Structure 1
């Protein structure tokens, strides 16, 4: 009887600390996911305010955070008869930019996946195309933007083409590497049971290549997004890149910073959404 009581007391002693431990784990998780990013934001804003208030730099070069906030409000509303910036509200600029990025990324990613699958499964095609992909990856967007403008004009076509060309190489390279890394034992097993080339690619190669391909797509979206200001250098209004370019012509630093923050925050949101898609599509990644 006493032994049973002792065991029960020991069990209770071991189980009671679990609740505080779980609460501490939740607090640590909250601190890592919310607290630290919030703290870094506050430190950044504080350092920015100190730099702007120090008088070491002109307001033209380092405007105060409140000035940038006022510029963001002005760009998002109609004030004194002026609608947003250059006749468009901030969300309209951002919408046009996101629409161009989406069109370019879809074209570039689809082309990159198809090209990567072909290069990963056909050796002679890979040897022919790989140097050209490397050449394209090495070129900054501005290097071929002007050529695209000469060929396609200054409307939407050169912008979308530039973003597609920025997104294609990382997707193609990641897909090629993933296809080449597909487990040879599974490929041989599928062939042994009578699967044809298409079935092997569909049922074995594609699932094995999906994690690396999704990583390549995330990289492609980031590279395309970082090229959006270059894509909108010509006739880019409405568009955040065009807004930044136009504001820089007049040394309007607050509006330039508003555009930079809009691009950066929307880019973070898109990357977070892609991470969610990646976790849902390949839940086994990182588990073994």
Structure 2
């Protein structure tokens, strides 16, 4: 670095050019960062001023996929508490009935259960369409997802499992939106939340296919926003970081690892405020780091962390055996 400074001192024009480039880069970061930070302040610190609970009450029905546990379950409970009837969709009827009971114990709203396995692909959507027929659906939470059991190299994962992840994570979002969006456009109001991942903001080695499906949701949602946001439909891309869910096999919470209940309580207040949201301030702080630091700098650390997670997961599996 000292040699570089000596070289620049010898060539003032080069020094001025480097200074100009540095200034332009800092300006670019500031122009991008200030609106982002203001959006996060408005969403996470001032959201109570926007009274989103009053907006939810105008919708009769909400449909939540992957509603048997985690984030989906908590969205269903939260929306029911706001006065919205809910349709719970997942593959386990027993788990859905447990969520139904939990909702009915807390609030006097209607609950409808639809049993569907999104890994089956196109075969299930006629059934879902029929079950939703006649309902005035105003809210859609596309939450259902599948992930790896633990970090793995792409070629180590069975082809059948890869196909399931792609089908569940992408086709479900597309097809559920295809079913419900026309109802929203007819009434000129509606809310669609596509739950993705912070992994959609950067490549995620050892979660390659999962990360790619989440990026798909990002672009799909952004394109829908341009097409339909001027027709009364709010469409949000939600990018949670780590949440303590059974899918991830995490139970312990911390400042950055939130419980599903706490995460949804924060994230639901960003609807109508942020089109692309991390859902909570703790995850937004992580998102800022990933966006500000260059990919070439971040990826070695991320890759090393995933390798360590893979080793730990294999060690635990070997201990169980």
Structure number with the higher strand fraction is: 2
TM more than 0.5: no
Larger Rg: 1
* TM-score with structure 2 setting the length: 0.26
Structure with bigger RCO (C-alpha 8 Å, 6+ apart): 1
TM-score norm. by structure 1 comes to 0.29
